[in-house]
C-alpha cells in the first residue's frame, strides 16, 4: 500500500478516454435536427388527418341537405344554418339561382326552368369548405 500523491492522481486522470466538446456538440446537433424533422412530420400528419376528416364528413352532410331538398323537407331558397349538436362545428349555406345553359333550346323552353343549387358546407374557424352543386326543379 503505497502513498498516493497529488501528482499520481492527476496523471491517472489525464490518461482516461472521454468525448471531446466537439464530438458532444456534433451529437447534440444531429439529435436536434432529427427532432425538428420528426416534429414537423408529426405536425403535417395531424394536418392531413384533420383534412381527411373534413373530406369524409362534409360530402356526407352536403348529401344530407340535398336529400332534405329533394324530399321537400326544406325549400330551395338562399339560406344558411348549422347541423345541430351532432355536427356543431359545421355550417351550411344554400345559394339558389336559375340555371343558365348556352346551347340546348329544349332546356330553355321547359315549362318550369331548372334551378342551380349550390350547397356549401364549412368547418367553422378553418379554411375548409366543400360545395355540392345540383340542378333540378324544386318546388318552392
pLDDT (tens digit per residue) in 37-63: 999 999 999 999 999 999 999 999 999
Q: What is the pLDDT of residues 89-114, one digit of tens each?
A: 999 999 998 877 776 666 556 666 78
Contact 30, 37 (CB under 8 A): no
Please give the grid coordinates belonging to residue 35. Answer: 427532432
* Residue 73, pLDDT score: 80
DSSP state of 127: S
Please give the grid coordinates belonging to residue 126. Answer: 378553418
* Residue 91, pLDDT score: 94
3-class secondary-structure state, position 92: strand
Average pLDDT, the chain: 84
Contact 117, 134 (CB under 8 A): yes
* Residue 76, pLDDT score: 81
In the structure, what pLDDT confidence band is assigned to residue 12 with cuts at 50, 70 and 90? low
In the structure, what pLDDT confidence band is assigned to residue 17 with cuts at 50, 70 and 90? confident
- Using alpha carbons, list the distances in angstroms from residue 7 to 11, 32, 87, 136: 6, 41, 78, 99
In the structure, what pLDDT confidence band is assigned to residue 140 with cuts at 50, 70 and 90? low
Q: Domain spans of the chain?
A: 20-136
* Residue 6, pLDDT score: 55
Choose between 109 and 22: higher pLDDT. Answer: 22
Amino acid at each position: 500500500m503505497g502513498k498516493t500523491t497529488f501528482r499520481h492522481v492527476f496523471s491517472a486522470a489525464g490518461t482516461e478516454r472521454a468525448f471531446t466538446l466537439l464530438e458532444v456538440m456534433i451529437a447534440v446537433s444531429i439529435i436536434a435536427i432529427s427532432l425538428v424533422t420528426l416534429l414537423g412530420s408529426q405536425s403535417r400528419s395531424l394536418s392531413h388527418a384533420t383534412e381527411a376528416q373534413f373530406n369524409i364528413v362534409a360530402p356526407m352532410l352536403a348529401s344530407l341537405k340535398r336529400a332534405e331538398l329533394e324530399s321537400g323537407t326544406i325549400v330551395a331558397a338562399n339560406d344558411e344554418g348549422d347541423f345541430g349538436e351532432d355536427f356543431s362545428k359545421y355550417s351550411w349555406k344554400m345559394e339558389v339561382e336559375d340555371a343558365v345553359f348556352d346551347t340546348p333550346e329544349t332546356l330553355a323552353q321547359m315549362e318550369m326552368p331548372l334551378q342551380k343549387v349550390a350547397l356549401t358546407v364549412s368547418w367553422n374557424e378553418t379554411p375548409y369548405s366543400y360545395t355540392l352543386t345540383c340542378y333540378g326543379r324544386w318546388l318552392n
